[in-house]
Amino acid sequence: MARKITYSQAINEALAQEMARDDSVIVMGEDNAGGAGAPGEDDAWGGVLGVTKGLFHKFPGRVLDTPLSEGGYIGAAVGAAACGMRPVAELMFIDFMGVCFDQIFNQAAKFRYMFGGKAVTPVVIRAMYGAGLRAAAQHSQMLTSLFTHIPGLKVVCPSTPYDAKGLLIQSIRDNDPVIFLEHKLLYTREGDVPEESYAIPFGEANVMRDGDDATIVTYGRMVHLAMDAAAKLAKDGIQVDVIDLRTTSPLDEETILESAARTGRVVVVDEANPRCSIATDIAALVAQRAFRALKAPIELVTAPHTPAPFASVLEDLYIPSADAIAQAVLKTRS
């Protein structure tokens, strides 16, 4: 039975169901177990935003607090995964991944390749990403393409509570390292989510809306802005496909190319900076494999090539808008 819960609650439920199913699943991160037993506290804080709240008492000894040393505990998570555990490590912000690159890029992502497929590293690294909370340049990055570039990593970017639960369950069960990215403006968004456990396969994009006039390809929070743009365009009789990638690695090339070939007009939306981004990668894919079907140049809607600003008026201009997406679609038709 489905009921409405938030994106944050869906993640919590996925963790609880997988921890109940498999004793090898553990949760670790800063303040995940913090606060438990402190005066006036009857539960752990559940991480910086309380996403794991309630798990500490349900699963004694399996929700672990870590020091403020991202490199240290991500290394510990990778080691635990290599030794048979299935750790889910919470990193407060994707911006802190920089101090973990060796553990992720040179260790976790490489083990299967270096040991002839005999070694697996079933670690999930959860992190907040994206702008919109006035968190300034060091706490607002995307970095999706950085992890997508690394062979051996799977990169997941759910846009809805339903996908957050199903994709996290799939991530925990996967035998490869998974970077699970949660846009910070989606945590309070509600959606219909089944109570029972379910897994959403990687590499299967979700066509959120059908149309033959143009294709919008995006992921994460930008899916909702793309849907707003599509609704606005529909008032003028323009019907578009809206493709939610769900995962950037693996990438559902077939769905993108089928839609591009059918509509002949493609807009790629990415909150990230444009250079070497998911947007440019998809544009290259379409240009290489569906060029003859195109009726107009591919349009990209991205953030500018600058760090995210702190000032509210500047950050609002920095983030791609529904109006900008709609204008890009209209440009392909001019």
Count of other CB atoms within 10 angstroms of residue 154: 22
- Which three-class secondary structure state does DSSP give residue 82? helix
Q: In the block, which residue shows the tokens 């040991």?
A: 115
Q: Is 57 one of the catalytic residues? A: no
Q: In the block, which residue shows the tokens 């992502």?
A: 109
Rounded distance between C-alpha atoms, residue 224 and residue 264, angstroms: 23
What's the length of the chain? 334
Rounded distance between C-alpha atoms, residue 145 and residue 255, angstroms: 19
Q: Tell me whether strands 190-194 and 2-6 are parallel, antiparallel or unpaired.
A: antiparallel
Catalytic residue among 57, 139, 183, 305: 139
- C-alpha pair distances (Å), 151 with each of 70, 96, 100, 108, 148: 22, 21, 16, 11, 8
- Which three-class secondary structure state does DSSP give residue 210? coil
Rounded distance between C-alpha atoms, residue 108 and residue 79, angstroms: 9
Catalytic residue numbers, as ranges? 139
